[in-house]
Amino acid sequence: MGAVVGGAGARHYARWGMAAINMDGEALAAQVKVDLARRVASLRERGVKPGLGTILVGDDGPSQKYVSMKHADCAELDMASVDLRLGADATQADVDEAVDELNNSAGVHAFIVQYPFPSGLDYGSTLLRVDPAKDADGLHPTNLGHLVMGQEAPLACTPAGILAMLHHYKVPVSGAHVVIVGRGAHHRPAARQPADAQAS
């Protein structure tokens, strides 16, 4: 997936003396995978096989596709993966049990609790149950707190990907005005990052 700064954005760039930028996300992702493959191979040489877990509750189509892509990536990179899927009729106790399973799994180093949940389930309380050390999305309050304090913490893939794209294409962020559309839990890390990059 690519991003193009064009239209009104291009006019603003022209006013600032900058050309519109065609950002090729697929090309950058391929480069990232090459680096990840090298790092995974290094860990495997030391007897460690990195493992990613996912918990998907319900039958949301985009979520199913997203989670399936994560496991395909793991297979491509020779990583372990654990795919826990619960039906739309799952109870909160069922979800808690799945979280506990991944918290306690020695073969899972980090995991994702896929959002959204079916109605009647509490996503917030589920996040609180996740071991912060295994919180792949960085949404546990402990990790969000570290992020706000400017300390090292896991960063959700969307803001991490945005920052990687901007850095790769040398888009200046310092002093820029950044607009983030959305107010869900997954948008909070994104909202924090511009401030860390001296943008508002």
The pLDDT tens digits of the residues spanning 67-120 come to 999 999 999 999 999 999 999 999 999 999 999 999 999 999 999 999 999 999
Domain edges within the chain: 1-48, 49-136, 137-200
Instruction: Walk across the sheet containing 51-57 and list its strands.
Output: 80-86, 51-57, 110-113
Please say whether the structural domain 49-136 has been given the CATH code 3.40.50.10860: yes
Does an H or E element contain 56, and which? strand 51-57
Q: Which residues of the chain have pLDDT under 70?
A: 1-19, 182-200
Number of Cβ atoms within 10 Å of the Cβ of 71:
16
Supply angle C-alpha 84, 86, 87, rounded to 5.
155
User: What confidence score (pLDDT) does residue 34 get?
Assistant: 95
Angstrom distances, CA of residue 146 to CA of 60, 70, 103, 152, 157: 31, 26, 20, 7, 17
